[in-house]
């Protein structure tokens, strides 16, 4: 029986994780659930999975949940400290890190400090503090297992060969909903259009990131840290069918790929059962139903966010955290109709250009940079 803490249980990844758990009641036990503000869903999840600890974003949520679970023997915590408590409970074996954005960094680092196995969906924490996080995982002899579908694919393809003989990693990108749209039409894109992803159903922030291709930029940085390769050996190719989830190219030119239906329950489950495999609630891929698999280069002019991410990664230090913070602000502004879709890359570029590169030695320093970038953007 593996005991799980699921951070972000009410989100897209969190709900898919609980689906996997429900399919294997003898393998997994939910020890803690943490979420933001969807108390009704969190309550329903808690009533069916019976965790000992619930953590919510704020004190008002905590008070309300205490009322709803009075006498039920469930502890309720709140705020960053509550998330960290869920991430570090001694009885927890695997922490599923699936909070969206920078809010995931502290609890993910707490899990690393506690030596936990981390099933990582929250790519932002690796983007912001990949060096610190991976060093802590090594120090405590913990492990990060990728949940992101591309990274799960690469992780699986790396099992087939010697790491030293890898030439490059190739991440596939669906290209998002605007793959074929001329950039002259980008200014008129509405949040509703951008929230409609062609192949994956995900939370709003990552869906916008997929439309700008910033998601792929964040994933390039994530892959660099997860697999210990420089980002210049991580390439991106557009593959609209989202069937090939990513590839590894070896020095002899052999390409290993992992294929499957675009259903996050497959990579989530692999992270939870690793190194074992189990039957999965997702439908298997039927090759004969595919009309074809196509690949094309990324149009880097229309989707400049990808190169902004490469640039921030090459610069290193605090710059990936600056990239991430500016992107979160820009996405929020776009969803709030304060800026157009076409203005997102410019907000991020300006933040990066105006920021002095500095080393970051702790999560606190990273979060200081994160806060300072957000304040500066809001002041302008
Ligand atoms: P989502 O918006 O659907 O869910 C986010 C979750 O985080 C919710 O449970 C929310 O309550 C919680 N949350 C947010 N702020 C919080 C806070 N301050 N305190 C406590 N909880 C908080 O997002 P998602 O699509 O599930 O994505 C989650 C993470 O997984 C992101 O980092 C995303 O990049 C990554 N990811 C998602 C997918 C996908 O298919 N959805 C695929 C790969 C990676
Ligand atoms: Mg992905």
Question: 108 alpha carbon to ligand 1 midpoint, in Å?
Answer: 13
| pLDDT at position 92 | 98
**Are the CB atoms for 342 and 260 separated by under 8 Å?**
no
Adjacency order of strands within the sheet including 2-7: 75-78, 53-56, 28-35, 2-7, 94-97, 117-120, 143-146
Q: How many separate helices (H) and strands (E) can be counted in the chain? A: 15, 11
Residue of 121, 152, 155, 226 to test ligand 1 pocket, by largest number of atoms within 8 Å of CB: 121
> Does any ligand 1 atom lie closer than 6 A to the CB of residue 57?
yes
Question: 250 alpha carbon to ligand 2 midpoint, in Å?
Answer: 22
CA–chain centroid gap for 224, Å, is 14
pLDDT averaged over 10-residue windows placed end to end, the chain, 380 residues: 98 98 98 97 98 98 98 96 98 98 98 98 98 98 98 94 91 97 98 92 96 98 97 98 97 97 97 97 95 97 98 98 98 98 98 97 98 95
> Does any ligand 1 atom lie closer than 6 A to the CB of residue 150?
no
The residue nearest atom 40 of ligand 1, judged by CA position, is 202
| pLDDT at position 200 | 84
Angle 57-58-64 from CA coordinates, rounded to 5°: 110
| pLDDT at position 27 | 97
Question: 206 alpha carbon to ligand 1 midpoint, in Å?
Answer: 8
> CB-based contacts of 12: which residues, under 8 Å, 6+ apart?
201, 202, 203, 264
Question: What is the spatial distance between Cα 205 and Cα 95, in angstroms, rounded to a whole number?
Answer: 22
Beta-strand ranges (E) seen in the chain are 2-7, 28-35, 53-56, 75-78, 94-97, 117-120, 143-146, 166-173, 234-238, 244-250, 255-259
| pLDDT at position 163 | 84
| pLDDT at position 380 | 82
Q: Tokens for 154, please give them.
A: 């690469």
Adjacency order of strands within the sheet including 244-250: 234-238, 166-173, 244-250, 255-259
| pLDDT at position 161 | 74
> Does any ligand 1 atom lie closer than 6 A to the CB of residue 77?
no
- Tell me the sheet residues that pair with 172: 237
**Sign of the alpha-carbon torsion through 268, 273, 277, 278:** negative
| pLDDT at position 201 | 87
């Amino acid at each position: 029986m593996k005991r799980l803490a699921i951070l972000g249980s009410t989100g897209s990844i969190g709900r898919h994780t609980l689906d996997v758990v429900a399919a294997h009641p003898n393998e997994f036990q939910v020890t803690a659930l943490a979420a933001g503000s969807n108390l009704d869903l969190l309550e329903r999840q808690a009533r069916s999975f019976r965790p000992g600890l619930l953590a919510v974003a704020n004190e008002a949520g905590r008070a309300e949940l205490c009322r709803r679970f009075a006498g039920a023997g469930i502890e309720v915590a709140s705020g960053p400290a509550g998330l960290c408590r869920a991430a570090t409970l001694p009885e927890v074996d695997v922490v599923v890190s699936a909070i969206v954005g920078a809010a995931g960094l502290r609890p993910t680092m707490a899990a690393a400090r506690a030596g936990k196995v981390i099933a990582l969906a929250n790519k932002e924490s690796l983007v912001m503090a990949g060096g610190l996080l991976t060093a802590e995982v090594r120090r405590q002899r913990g492990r990060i297992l990728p949940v992101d579908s591309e990274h799960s694919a690469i992780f699986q393809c790396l099992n087939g060969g010697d790491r030293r003989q890898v030439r490059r990693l190739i991440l596939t990108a669906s290209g998002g909903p605007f793959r074929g749209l001329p950039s002259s039409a980008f200014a008129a894109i509405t949040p509703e259009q951008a929230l409609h992803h062609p192949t994956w159903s995900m939370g709003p922030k990552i869906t916008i990131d997929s439309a700008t291709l910033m998601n792929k930029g964040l994933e390039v940085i994530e892959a660099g840290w997860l697999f210990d390769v420089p980002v210049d050996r991580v390439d991106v190719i557009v593959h609209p069918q989202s069937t090939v989830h990513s590839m590894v190219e070896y020095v002899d030119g052999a390409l290993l790929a992992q294929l499957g239906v675009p259903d996050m329950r497959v990579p989530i489950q692999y992270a939870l059962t690793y190194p074992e495999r189990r039957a999965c609630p997702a439908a298997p891929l039927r090759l004969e139903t595919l009309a074809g698999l196509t690949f094309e280069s990324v149009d880097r002019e229309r989707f400049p966010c990808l190169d902004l991410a490469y640039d921030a990664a090459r610069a290193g230090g605090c710059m990936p955290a600056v990239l991430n913070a500016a992107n979160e602000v820009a996405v929020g502004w776009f969803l709030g109709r304060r800026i157009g879709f076409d203005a997102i890359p410019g907000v991020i570029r300006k933040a990066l250009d105006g920021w002095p590169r500095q080393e970051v030695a702790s999560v606190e320093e990273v979060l200081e940079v994160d806060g300072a970038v957000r304040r500066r953007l809001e002041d302008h």
